[in-house]
Amino acid sequence: MLGAADESSVRVAVRIRPQLAKEKIEGCHICTSVTPGEPQVFLGKDKAFTFDYVFDIDSQQEQIYTQCIEKLIEGCFEGYNATVFAYGQTGAGKTYTMGTGFDVNIMEEEQGIISRAVRHLFKSIDEKKTSAIKNGLPPPEFKVNAQFLELYNEEVLDLFDTTRDIDAKNKKSNIRIHEDSTGGIYTVGVTTRTVNTEPEMMQCLKLGALSRTTASTQMNVQSSRSHAIFTIHVCQTRVCPQTDAENATDNKLISESSPMNEFETLTAKFHFVDLAGSERLKRTGATGERAKEGISINCGLLALGNVISALGDKSKRATHVPYRDSKLTILLQDSLGGNSQTIMIACVSPSDRDFMETLNTLKYANRARNIKNKVMVNQDRASQQINALRSEITRLQMELMEYKTGKRIIDEEGVESINDMFHENAMLQTENNNLRVRIKAMQETVDALRARITQLVSEQANQVLARAGEGNEEISNMIHSYIKEIEDLRAKLLESEAVNENLRKNLTRGHGEISLLQCLLSFLAYYTVFRQGDYRNYRSSKERLGEAKTEREEEEEKCCRERR
């Protein structure tokens, strides 16, 4: 895992199936209603529940997939695990929503979540490979595996195992469930099939779904008698994406080293869980083997409910979470409170005769909204080390650039410190920029004031001409142009006077420095002559000083003439 874990709540969607023909014939009334534009469902007149998504009777399969599942597939390419599981009473439409019940005459718009997710997965793989080739990068390598498990009477069965005796379902299974060092759950003894295309994946799904245990009850003609978990493993090896921090470093330092692509390996697993329906034996009329299956189903769902309650109740979060009470909860340990982006689809019936089952399902789903998962990227250790080294290189490059620009210095004792001159220079540059902006604004103000003065003077001259009876328009325009030219010349004159005054001050300062230099030379000459006692040397030195003085005066006059 890379970096710190991000908390992600389990999202819950409620889907209300249409009424069956049998329910309409028997005169069942609709007891559910949905608030338009809001994810809120009403049961009866006084019971309201709010979820992340609510889909009414007329909802379509594509709508559910687009709003709930599409982003989870995109997250798999970034190394995030995902889980989608359907919950509800028997006959509520879980298998239809998930798409694990294959029908020969099924239409494309009626395809379930799994079929659409598989199509989206392989389409995105092709797009990512094509995009990498267009950008001149090595295309990413993908390895996609699939597993299909069935949890029947608390025994884990492999639906991909063609050598399994389908009639011997009650025999002890050889599949074992283990937990790795990071808390992840994996199975041993399960058939894993490698697939490369969408048709291969759909064929695997179809073969596994046909091997699943189903039976007829009074509530459902083809009732699922087991929990099914279809898992897709995606392993991706791609070029490490460039971060913004690396782009901001010194390009010269990067260009000195030879370009070399760095690769990272990301893994992700996607669970599609079709839970068996909760049922009451009184309503299903199950006896014998069917009754035993129903008891096992309810035990697994009860254990799942206890886990959801323990994770969702804030007062119980510090206590033990009973994952080990059922194999179903062990297999879903990653999905509930673990490392997975999880969405629960609660399927309910709108008929009033299923009022209590619908109420229990909505309460069950409402508790699941309080579960917080710790979502992290699944990355191999080599990729983690590569990312750590890249971050260290980026930090060192930034530090080297700070030394080159003078921001950091090291004194004689080897102590590192921040250069005050760098900050002072930055402050002066900021102040200089602010002054530039102010000067520009003041120049615009001066121009505006000059135009305003010209206009006022022109209006005043026009008034004088009007009073004199000579208000000719051509004369007015001529006067306006003359006044404008006069104002421009006056501004230039003021500017020239200011420049002249600065030059005069500089010249005066230069004369003062020359006079001081002459005094120092005279003093040195007097001191030298009188110390040696030679008046002639003093006179000759005085004459040389006079000549030097004459040459300096000529140079000064020449400089003054050049400046003028």
**Token pair listed for 72:** 């989870």
Q: Is residue 63 part of an annotated ligand binding site?
A: no
CA distances from 420 to 363, 408, 409, 435 (A): 64, 9, 10, 22
Closest CA to 358 of 247, 277, 424: 277
Q: Is residue 454 part of an annotated ligand binding site?
A: no
Q: Which residue type does 436 have?
A: R
Q: Is residue 94 part of an annotated ligand binding site?
A: yes
Task: Phi first, then psi: give them for residue 365, nearest 5 degrees.
Answer: -70, -35
Q: Is residue 88 part of an annotated ligand binding site?
A: yes
Q: Is residue 112 part of an annotated ligand binding site?
A: no
490 neighbors 511 (Cβ within 8 angstroms): no
Angle at 469 between CA 467 and CA 471, to 5 degrees: 90
278 neighbors 297 (Cβ within 8 angstroms): yes
CA torsion sign for 248, 249, 250, 251 is: negative
Query: Using alpha carbons only, how large is the chain's radius of gyration in Å?
Result: 44
**Token pair listed for 261:** 């692509």
Q: Is residue 79 part of an annotated ligand binding site?
A: no
CA distances from 369 to 8, 335, 343, 374 (A): 10, 13, 9, 14
Distance CA 293, CA 217 (A): 12
Q: Is residue 361 part of an annotated ligand binding site?
A: no
Q: Is residue 44 part of an annotated ligand binding site?
A: no
Distance CA 222, CA 360 (A): 23
The DSSP H or E segment spanning 513 is helix 473-532
- Pick out the residues of the known binding site for ATP: 88-95
- Pick out the residues of the known binding site: 88-95
